[in-house]
Amino acid sequence: MANYTRILTAVDLTEDSDEVAERARAIATNNGAELHLIHVIEPLSFAYGGDIPMDFSGIQDEIHQQASAQLEKFGEKHAIPQTARHVVLGQPEVEIHAMADEIDADLIVVGSHGRYGLALLMGSTANGVLHGASCDVLAVRVGQQKKDT
């Protein structure tokens, strides 16, 4: 089994993020690993394309400030050093891969909602991160009641 030294945890800052961070923290503690957080903000232009002719920069700046404040609180709650908290703008899969390479992560931890059918065909961040990652990826099942075994 791999001994992880640097773990990147991707969070969307929803209530499910706590579960993902707790799982990553447990792995980091067991391996004596450094733990990083990343939150990716998708540009509004991705959502609306060129369909709406307006400048989104002010709104985008406000979203970035709010996300940074939320990640600050989240990082404090989970005892992640400020230098290991990252808010970036871009496509989630691309930015998570880039940050993993930048910090030389050997594990990426993401949440997965376990979608199926059309939702699976549409893709998910967890699936996108898995394909193309240069290190191990752990998808933590979130947002569903777990089956009793």
**In the sheet that 107-112 helps form, which strands lie side by side, from edge to edge?**
85-89, 34-41, 6-10, 107-112, 136-141
CATH of residue 99: 3.40.50.620
Q: How far apart are CA 124 and CA 119, in angstroms?
A: 8
Note whether residue 149 is domain-resident. no
* Whether residue 38 has pLDDT greater than 90: yes
- Domain hosting 15: range is 6-141
Q: Considering its fold, how many domains does the chain have in total?
A: 1
Note whether residue 126 is domain-resident. yes
Q: What integer best gives the mean pLDDT of the chain?
A: 84
* Whether residue 149 has pLDDT greater than 50: no
Note whether residue 114 is domain-resident. yes
Percent of the chain with pLDDT over 70: 79
* Whether residue 5 has pLDDT greater than 90: yes
Q: How far apart are CA 75 and CA 45, in angstroms?
A: 28
Note whether residue 16 is domain-resident. yes
Q: What is the pLDDT of residues 57-113, one digit of tens each?
A: 788 888 999 999 999 999 999 999 999 999 999 999 999 999 999 999 999 999 886
C-alpha dist (Å) from residue 138 to 30, 81, 125, 127: 15, 22, 12, 11
Specify the pLDDT at position 70: 95
Specify the pLDDT at position 135: 94
Tell me if 31 sits within 8 A of 128, measured CB to CB. no
Strand partners, 38: 10, 86
pTM of the model: 0.83
Note whether residue 15 is domain-resident. yes
Residue with token string 């991705």: 46
Tell me if 135 sits within 8 A of 107, measured CB to CB. yes
Tell me if 28 sits within 8 A of 126, measured CB to CB. no
